[in-house]
Amino acid sequence: MIYLDNSATTKPLPEVLDTFRIVSEKFFANPSSIHNLGSLSEEMLKKSRHQAAQLLGVKDDEITFTSGGTEGNNLAIKGAAFSYRNRGKHIITTEIEHASGYNAFKQLENEGFDVTYLPVKQDGRVSVQAVKDAIREDTILVSMIHVNNEVGTIQPVQEIGHYLKSLNKVLFHVDHVQGIGKVPLNLSDSGIDMCSISGHKFHSPKGTGLLYVRRGVNLSPLFSGGSQELNRRAGTENLPGIAAMVKALRLTLEEYQHHLGKLQDLQNKMRTAFNTNEHMIVHTPSENAAPHILNVTVKGIKSEVLVHALEEEEIYVSTKSACSSKEGGASRVLLAMGVPEDEAAQAIRISLSYQTKEDEIKTFIDTLNKKIKQLKFVMG
């Protein structure tokens, strides 16, 4: 099996699953319980929060554990919008957000908020000037994906964050789900007020994530209930998942320090092969792009057909975002980049992890070329 759908989800690491099992067995009590077993679980929770904060270079009380990127994005976007709506109801985002952000903005529009969706250039990148031009007196929030989940374009979040910080009145949320462990981002020095991260994108079990919330930022909770997670997120904490995610985060950041160049080399090998193939169009830009995502169109072959053809050889890629892959039609992201609708409907996404091997990429390229020839022959 060759698994190249890591932007949808990664395979949990064995040592991460070991941590999940051990914490499930030894720290099974509710961290909110006042007896000794509860206190032991609470200490494990505090230890996990401290480790996560250290790994991300932030303060312990700036970490809120969530169930993943979707919850983190919704808590940041809706929580900030409702908490600060007395200042104004204008929010700025982009046309290429992940569905969990994009649909949150659509929902806020129904609640009376005015949302500006910034266009992107052909490389999928928004301009800093466009953000500046969109700011109004009643703007309360700018929210933006750091690394696009379909094409891998990196947005200029540091430049935008520094500009917004100079205004001292507009909050900045960044969806860092696809960037964590692949594209560096200094949370404490980028003008970022909130940042979403999802564990299953870096070899943690699903249902884990965290939201960085800068000290002093108030969010209206999405859930009514207890006072867990600094009154931001009610509900009994998923302690085994939290501990496992923090371990996965540490291991991923260690991999990043030593093996980031490997991902770039593998992506470059694919890009070189695809650029010389007359049947293929590469949509991922060559600059300002993450090293683990490559989006390409195979002309004349629908993406679903190609995905299933590769699956016959136990090679797994995807069409668009996993959250949107079962929806019909062309990719909203590619259309926003100016890709023609027929090309957008024929695009596949290849996404790597630090576990991806060079010989797997060679096999994938060879198999893809073989499948293209077979499908072209059948289609006449």
Residue carrying the six token digits 């430049």: 159
Residue carrying the six token digits 């932007």: 7
Say if CB 369 and CB 277 are below 8 A apart. yes
CA dist 156 and 154 (Å) reads: 7
Cα first-last separation, the chain: 30
Residues in contact with 86: Cβ distance below 8 Å, sequence separation at least 6, in sequence order = none
CA dist 41 and 45 (Å) reads: 6
In angstroms, what is the C-alpha Rg of the chain? 21
3-class SS at 120?
coil
3-class SS at 228?
coil
Count CB-CB contacts under 10 A for residue 352: 26
Catalytic residues: 323
Residue carrying the six token digits 């969010």: 219
Beta bridge partners of 349: 295, 318
